[in-house]
Amino acid sequence: MLPNSSSDNATVAGNQTPSNWSPQQQTARMLALCEAQMEAATQDSDVAVDTLINSFSDLMNLVRELNAESNQNHSDTQTIKFASEEEMKQRYQTLMRQVNNAIMAFQFYDKLSQRLGHVRYSLSTLALFVCDRLNSQKPEHWDKLVTTLGRLYRTAEERAIFDSIAGTLAITPENEKPKPISQTAAPEGSIELF
């Protein structure tokens, strides 16, 4: 799993291992990272499902209104025609807005699958790592593990979670750590033409 080269030790050469460092504490923090990921994914999914429910409720109301009107008997067809044209435009716009909201919300599933995949990989990698009694006692190997798993966290949200927790995991000096990606990541939905 994790590379075990002599350069691993060089990463933290000369660093003092914090007095409160222990493999158990590191394991607990890695599990906290997974928990934070799952919590964020669940919250995002709840918001998306709420949006879907609202969109479908509005769509259903619109369909009911149209159905009720089509069953009414109109005496002045000319007046109804003009009213209908304006109303039709408004209803079309409402309908399209709700459909667009639903399309955006439906994308939560892709994001959820991806996040859970990262959590699954993190947990299985961590399980293998802690079973390696020799290397799991070495802070520099924990640093390597954090770096390896950190590559999984690619979206702005994921990076924000990772950066907030990973900062307490690695013992690499602050000035040697890469700049948190969450600070430079483009927001969701952004578009850039090159």
Partner 1 sequence: MPSVILAVDDSASMRQMVRFTLESAGYEVVQAADGVEALDYAKAGNADLVLTDVNMPRMDGITLVRELRNLNNYKGVPILVLTTEAGQDTKMQGKQAGATGWIVKPFNPEQLLATIQRVL
188 binds partner 1 (CB under 8 A): yes
- Integer Cα distance of 149 and 179 in angstroms: 16
13 binds partner 1 (CB under 8 A): no
- If phi > 0 it is left, if psi is from -120 to 50 it is alpha, else beta; for residue 72 that is beta
Write out the binding residues for partner 1, residues 76-115 only, by CB under 8 A. Answer: 99-100, 103-104, 106-111, 113-114
Tell me whether residue 138 or residue 154 sits nearer to partner 1 (CB atom): 154
**Residue 139: CB minimum distance to partner 1, A:** 27
Tell me whether residue 1 or residue 181 sits nearer to partner 1 (CB atom): 181
189 binds partner 1 (CB under 8 A): yes
Binding mask 144-183 for partner 1 (x = CB under 8 A): ----------xxx--x---------------------x--
- If phi > 0 it is left, if psi is from -120 to 50 it is alpha, else beta; for residue 189 that is left
Which residue is associated with the tokens 């909201």? 101
14 binds partner 1 (CB under 8 A): no
Q: Which residue, among 167, 165, 146, 159, has the nearest Cα to 188 in the 3D structure?
A: 159
| Neighbouring C-beta atoms of residue 57, cutoff 10 Å | 11
- Integer Cα distance of 172 and 174 in angstroms: 6
Q: Please report, as ranges, the residues that interact with partner 1 according to CB under 8 A.
A: 99-100, 103-104, 106-111, 113-114, 154-156, 159, 181, 184-194
